Amino acid sequence: MRLLPGRGPAAARLARRRQLGLTLVATVHPLRSDHFGQSAPSDGTVGPVRCQYCHASAQLVSGETLYPDQPAKHQAQFWHCASCRAWVGCHDGTDRPLGTLADSRLRNARIAAHAAFDPLWRGGGLNRTQAYLWLAKEMQLSEAECHIGHFSIEQCAAVLDAVERRRQQELLGLI
């Protein structure tokens, strides 16, 4: 992230929070299960996926439904709540959700979090496991809880802050 003259990291963090629609200081909240505490069936398929906004059952749809103008996404599967316009993608070739359903604000926050975080392990000196262990420690989460697809908007803002702090420490030669 480029800092403007006369503006420090705190101003940059505030600008990122405004982009995500946040006005208050972010706090980290406990994570919720994909299925609101429901366990998956013993045959390995996914049980009912519920919308975290309206609690209705989500429907499994193709990417063509959600992204009609993006042919590359047509074969992918998504869990979708039509009434809330919330959705989440599935792991390739499965109906297992990548995280929790997200409305447009949360999707954009998760995209921003991945855009900031992923370069740490995609050529940034850490492997993927090391990067997620670092993030879990920074966010005071267990390794199992540290998954951007489960994060809230506030947690995504905390990812942006943590990555920016790391970049500043790298520039100063502290890590």
Which among 123, 87, 82 has a CA at the least distance from the CA of 104?
87
Q: Are 54 and 83 in contact (CB under 8 A)?
A: yes
pLDDT over 90 percentage in the chain: 70
Query: Rounded mean pLDDT of 22-51?
Result: 48
Query: Would you state the pLDDT for residue 17?
Result: 54
3 state SS of 102: strand
DSSP string, 44-82: S-----B-TTT-PBPEEEEHHHH-TT-GGGTTSEEEEET
Q: Work out whether the CA dihedral 132, 62, 84, 41 comes out positive or negative.
A: negative
For the cut 60, the answer to whether the pLDDT of residue 28 exceeds it is: no
> Who's near 36: CB < 8 A, 6+ residues apart?
50, 52, 55
Q: Buried b / exposed e across 95-125, counting CB within 10 Å, b at 16+?
A: ebbbbbbbbeebbbbbebbeebbeebbeebe
* pLDDT tens sequence across 81-136: 999 999 999 999 999 999 999 999 999 999 999 999 999 999 878 999 999 999 99
Query: Would you state the pLDDT for residue 18?
Result: 55
Query: Would you state the pLDDT for residue 98?
Result: 96
For 20, list phi and psi in degrees, rounded to 5: -85, 0
Query: Would you state the pLDDT for residue 47?
Result: 72
> Who's near 75: CB < 8 A, 6+ residues apart?
62, 63
**Mean of per-residue pLDDT scores for the chain:** 83
- What is the number of other CB atoms lying within 10 angstroms of the CB of residue 154? 17
